[in-house]
A and B are shown apart, each in its own frame.
Chain A
């Protein structure tokens, strides 16, 4: 199939350069860093977790009884106490950092790094062909332009998935080798809106990955649009990184000033995990709302990309 061959081409161009390999090396480095931090900071977990958990509840209770504790902090502590109590009641050990799966849970925190890499790839995959002068040879082939563009975007998504899975598997292998499976808990316990929930650890990992992946699809579409529109990867990279990493702060600030349009900004909707294992950052937002907003933005980003790419005269 033609589209598959075009994606194969994009991947070849990516793998035959150093960039992606440097990214993989940095992911390996981030896992090793997580390992070093885990080994240095946490003492090996207690043999009797129930005892320490009970201890923790008592200490938290003391803090709750003190005066002058801000409400936000109290809410958080109360949530923590509920989770602890739930563990005791249902005999579910915490996810210790120094267990195989606990380590995976810490290591996949580096997925922000992958988002950064995907922005770089998405922002350059179109503009670099103009810079190299190869776009002329590509577009004078008997292939519809939209297929060329779609193959590029799909290649970005494919490699985003590849990096994400690579991080997860690498973290699991390292965790399993270093810590083994002793004392590993297979249940994940979290609190949402005052109610404690329990799910399989693998469901937790899957949802975490999925949520991040959707975030990447969105920011990649944004970077891709800028790259197609301006034929300039520096601008696309800079703007996308800014939106990705400052977006939630900008959202919070705007929300603080009571701007009601905040919830319609695409970057405050990208973190779907907030609906699953937490509570939304801005009132009135729901999972369905965010998905709808993301979908609308996605169509706009892609529409602009494909429209300009299809119409543009290739000069220079």
Chain B
């Protein structure tokens, strides 16, 4: 059963005549990592800023754990931790003092909890050092530790892997997955990097020019795969095959010497028999995993004209 931790409803931001974000509608569910994908300037950061109360909501609302950010910001934000843009902390304070600082804003200092989050992000060794001496990856981890201090139900991370090296990116990804799996926290991550989202997220919301253009399950169930799968076909003559398949209500396109067809698992043997009966030589039939990038590009190409 899915429980929505955050509900974004008709969320819009208007500055002057410019509508930066237009009527966004989506849910963020408990235990899921939801990706927020879009090119730079699409409105990702603006949306996140509204969600955490840094920017006023022009219209619509965000509900977190049942509390409206618009009407009851303090209650709603009690259940949110996050980093917007860069993880900027006080450089002249130690990592530990930074955590003390942010914990004090919500309640009394709880050293046990600080130790827990430090361990969770693996910063035990450097936590007493000044943040000035931290690498970007360490700052990012301290930022996440800061966000986790008050046991949030929703973690909002804006481009958390920006500027990190591949090793750092992998580390952050593992932390986040572990976190969502073990604590049931909902994670909302923005990025403009498709490949990264694919490895990290369960689901993505695609935003372009301030509007949601698509929502995708990234790891669809076997059922869903069986209903619609992509298969690569090597056959001869191709033209004839295309003609036959087109009559069968399947989507066909040719690519690099083979045909890509989209059909259901159950329908596949029939198509095969049909082709063979019509005299088409079928050499290989292969299941294809279409990357998110291909799908995304296919979609954005459609939207861009």
User: B-contacting residues of A (Cβ < 8 Å)?
Assistant: 5-6, 8-9, 12-13, 16-17, 132-134, 136-144, 311, 313-315
Contact = CB atoms under 8 A, between A and B. Distances in A.
A142 B52 CA distance: 9
Given A142-B80, A143-B105, 8 more contacts: A12-B97, A133-B86, A134-B88, A137-B83, A142-B73, A142-B76, A144-B74, A315-B54
Nearest to A8: B104
Given A12-B93, A16-B92, A314-B49, A138 B56 contact: no
5 contacts: A16-B97, A134-B89, A142-B76, A313-B54, A314-B55
A315 B146 CA distance: 20
Given A140-B53, A140-B54, A141-B77, A9 B88 contact: no
Contacts of B299: none
B128 interface: no
Given A133-B88, A142-B74, A142-B77, A315 B49 contact: yes
B101 interface: yes
A138 B105 contact: yes
B88 A6 contact: no
A225 B155 CA distance: 34
Given A5-B105, A6-B104, A136 B54 contact: yes
Contacts of A8: 104
A9 B101 contact: yes
Contact-residue bracket for chain B: 20 to 34
A113 B22 CA distance: 53
Contacts of A137: 83-84, 88-89, 102, 146
Contacts of A133: 85-86, 88
A311 B76 CA distance: 19
A134 B88 CA distance: 6
Nearest to A143: B105
Nearest to A313: B55
A124 to B, nearest CB: 13
Contacts, number: 78
Contacts of B55: 313-315
Contacts of A313: 49, 54-56
Contacts of A9: 101, 104-105
A8 B88 CA distance: 20
A314 to B, nearest CB: 4
A23 B56 CA distance: 39
Contacts of B102: 137, 141
Contact of B74 (A12, A16, A143): A143
Given A12-B97, A143-B106, A132 B90 contact: yes
A-B residue pairs, 5 tightest by C-beta: A133-B88, A142-B77, A140-B52, A314-B54, A141-B105
Contact of B108 (A5, A136, A141, A144): A5
Contacts of B93: 12-13, 16
A17 B132 CA distance: 13
B78 interface: yes
A139 B104 contact: no
B74 A132 contact: no
B82 interface: yes
Interface string B62-84: 00000000000111111010111
A114 B185 CA distance: 49
Given A5-B108, A6-B105, A136 B90 contact: no
